[in-house]
Amino acid sequence: MRVNLTVNGEQRQADDVWEGESLLYVLRERLGLPGSKNACEQGECGSCTVYLDDVPVCACLVAAGQAQDREVRTVEGLAEGDRLDPVQEAFVEAGAVQCGFCTPGLVVAAHDLLERVPQPSDPEIREALAGNLCRCTGYEKILDAVRLAAARR
């Protein structure tokens, strides 16, 4: 089948999509956007978090066809040219990035949190990021990054 959708502000089209393919597969393998990661492909790890019409979702749990005529924003769409989004900048500065495989999903989730709650408390940050697994950091520096990004808003 053919899927038409808007990704990071651009109209995109994917052809020969098998009905069982996920939005994640289409983004990664058909549209050249591998930033969203494939760590569990069953909605447990959050590494594939993207905005679908401004709501964060696990792209692995969205069938490609469900994205027809909708707007998707991925981690690749957060920076403006060379200028990183403040959340991205804070992740690098705070040491929240080690292997970085969880980072794209966490950056999108943290970005969404700060859009909704500009000055979150620690329990609010923890609750908002609870669907994103990180195996390297123990999360302390991820919390630092979100606090830093919030302080700079």
Could you list the residues that contact another protein (CB under 8 A)? 18, 20, 28-29, 32-42, 44-45, 47, 74-76, 78-79, 84, 88-89, 91-93, 95, 97-104, 107, 123, 125-127, 129-143
Residues 6 or more apart whose CB falls under 8 angstroms from that of 72 comprise: 5, 6, 7, 8, 23, 27, 50, 51, 52, 59
Which residue lies nearer to another protein by CB, 36 or 67? Answer: 36
Which residue lies nearer to another protein by CB, 51 or 69? Answer: 51
Give least dist CB 149 to another protein, A: 11
Alpha carbon distance 54, 128 (integer Å): 16
Alpha carbon distance 28, 13 (integer Å): 13
Give least dist CB 77 to another protein, A: 9
